């Protein structure tokens, strides 16, 4: 009898010892790996994949006919408008030309205007020279770079040299129009998009978004072009750049007659 009890005690002790080894060998916070279907990450991604599948189905259905595609596009615009909210009433732009840089066959005007009272927007207007006015115009939407509109200037110079005026608006927190800065004016955030990501959280609390603010700045930039007598209001060139999707989703005050 004592032998049986001793054997059982040995087995229990051995089991406890082995279990202790298994637990101690387990890595910290590895009880719920992200690859398991019960992990929170996978739980969230299931909704993402479901939405993606629904969107793919809607797009394929839209491609079946021109009417279907038009209906799909209108639905996209309406949903996006609901996300970003309403826009303010248009007021005076109070536009100023504060400087000028001479180029070869064109010049650059440094412009400041107010997209709404007290909200100042800076921009560069590349104006062709030695050509008949009014000239066609385009709006170039730059961003996603620490040097702001630096890379966009090459395309703007090329178009201005070929008779097309280009207005390049400085975006918020992407190398231009920095908002989160120290006393010396240096950025307190890293990278080209961190600042506008942080700013967006504050705008969300106010019932809007940074995307809506950027769209409004660009929309009012088009309004500014329409005030100039040297810009042809009937000839607009629309072309693809970083943030043209905002104007596409909401529409613009201009009628485009060409695409690049």
What are the sequence ranges of the domains in the chain? 40-84, 96-259
pLDDT recorded at residue 259: 44
Q: What pTM was computed for the model? A: 0.70
Which tokens in the block code for residue 250? 């909401």
In the numeric block, which tokens belong to residue 22?
């298994």
d(CA 159, CA 63): 34
Between 255 and 211, residue with greater pLDDT:
211
Residue 98's closest CA among 106, 115, 110?
Answer: 110
pLDDT in tens, 61-99: 999 999 999 999 999 888 888 877 788 899 999 999 999
173: Cβ contacts below 8 Å, ≥ 6 apart: 179, 180, 189, 193, 194, 195, 196, 199, 210
What integer pLDDT is reported at residue 16 of this predicted model?
Answer: 62
- The enclosing H or E element of 136 equals strand 135-141
- Judged against a pLDDT cut of 70, whether residue 254 lies above it is answered with no
Average the pLDDT over each of 174-178, 186-190, 254-258 and give the range with the smallest value: 254-258
Average pLDDT over residues 9-34: 55
As its CATH architecture, domain 96-259 has 3-Layer(aba) Sandwich (3.40)
pLDDT average, residue stretch 11-26: 55
pLDDT over 60 at 30, yes or no: no
- Is residue 244 scored above 60 in pLDDT? no
Where does the pLDDT of residue 126 fall: very low under 50, low under 70, confident under 90, or very high at 90 and above? very high
**Band of pLDDT at residue 145, cut at 50, 70 and 90:** confident
Residue 187 has pLDDT above 80, yes or no: yes
Lookup: tokens for 216: 């409004």
């Amino acid at each position: 009898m004592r032998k049986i009890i001793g054997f059982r005690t040995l087995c229990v002790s051995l089991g406890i010892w082995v279990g202790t080894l298994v637990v101690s060998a387990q890595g910290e916070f590895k009880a719920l790996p992200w690859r398991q279907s019960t992990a929170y990450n996978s739980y969230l991604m299931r909704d993402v994949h479901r939405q993606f599948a629904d969107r793919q189905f809607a797009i394929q259905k839209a491609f079946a006919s021109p009417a279907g595609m038009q209906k799909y596009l209108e639905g996209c615009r309406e949903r996006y408008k609901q996300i970003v909210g309403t826009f303010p009433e248009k007021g005076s732009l109070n536009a100023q030309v504060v400087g000028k840089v001479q180029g070869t066959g064109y010049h650059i005007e440094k412009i400041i205007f107010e997209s709404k009272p007290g909200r100042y927007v800076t921009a560069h207007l590349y104006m062709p020279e030695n050509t008949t006015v009014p000239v066609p115009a385009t709006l170039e939407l730059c961003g996603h770079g620490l040097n702001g509109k630096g890379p966009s200037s090459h395309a703007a110079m090329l178009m201005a040299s070929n008779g097309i005026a280009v207005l390049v608006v400085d975006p918020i927190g992407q190398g231009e129009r920095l908002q989160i800065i120290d006393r010396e004016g240096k950025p307190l955030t890293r990278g080209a998009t961190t600042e506008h990501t942080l700013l967006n959280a504050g705008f969300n609390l106010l019932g809007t978004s940074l995307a809506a603010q950027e769209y409004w700045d660009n929309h009012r930039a088009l309004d500014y072009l329409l005030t100039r007598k040297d810009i042809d209001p009937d000839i607009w060139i629309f072309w693809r750049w970083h943030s043209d999707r905002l104007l596409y989703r909401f529409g613009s005050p201009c009628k485009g007659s060409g695409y690049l």
